Amino acid sequence: MTFTGTSYDVVTVDLDRARVRALTRDDAGRPIASFAHLREVVGRSLAVATNAGIFEPGLVPTGLFVADGREMTPINTTTGEGNFYLQPNGVFAIDDAGAWISPTAAFRSVGRAPRQATQSGPLLVSGGVIHASFRSDSTSTVIRNGVGVVSPRRVVLAISNEPVNLKTFATLFLERLECDDALYLDGAISGMYAPSLGREDLDRGPYAGFVVVEVAPQPD
């Protein structure tokens, strides 16, 4: 789609029809790192994927990462430099009741145990409000990807096809994609695997983790 003159690839996921997972390592414990390797790991059920968030050297997620109920890295409540630490940052999570995005500071108090989760920052939109520090005239523009929640059963993944600033990207989620909560995942290196959109980004990466959408494979 095109929004305010910028092109985006967008995938809307119905959690009653597809499974969303957070994946970081293969069965041998190796970082998955690329969409090519991810395709080998997941197999024919892989429909869509995007990189899951900001990471440290060694392909270690900077913050909380939960894959199929297993906490791979703990929640990060420290301060620092860069987008991850631009407060409020947050967590995208899924449990049996559905998907939600929470500010990091409030995540534990929610009292829910996610089966899938990734922490990143900053929050693009929280409670229907765009992050207060974003400016329309910002010249900090890169390719960006993020995740938004329309409802507990409806998740949106989006990536810009042109460099955008954070205010423009957040406005996409709030005004066009109708997400009252959205989380920035990463920028510059971002990629998406979405064969139905004619894109696979097999040469992108490496990444520390992925948000993965799986559907039942069609019979041959």
pLDDT single digits (tens) 66-90: 999 999 999 999 999 999 999 999 9
CB-based contacts of 60, cutoff 8 Å, min separation 6: 73, 208
Q: Give the pLDDT score at 220.
A: 59
Burial of residue 98, with CB atoms counted within 10 A of its CB: 0-12 exposed, 13-18 middle, 19 or more buried: middle
* pLDDT reading at 194 higher than 80: yes
Q: What is the pTM of this model?
A: 0.96
Q: 218 falls in which pLDDT band (50, 70, 90)?
A: low
Domain map (residue ranges) of the chain? 2-214
SS3 85: helix
Is-contact 120 54, C-beta < 8 A?
Answer: yes
Q: 216 falls in which pLDDT band (50, 70, 90)?
A: confident
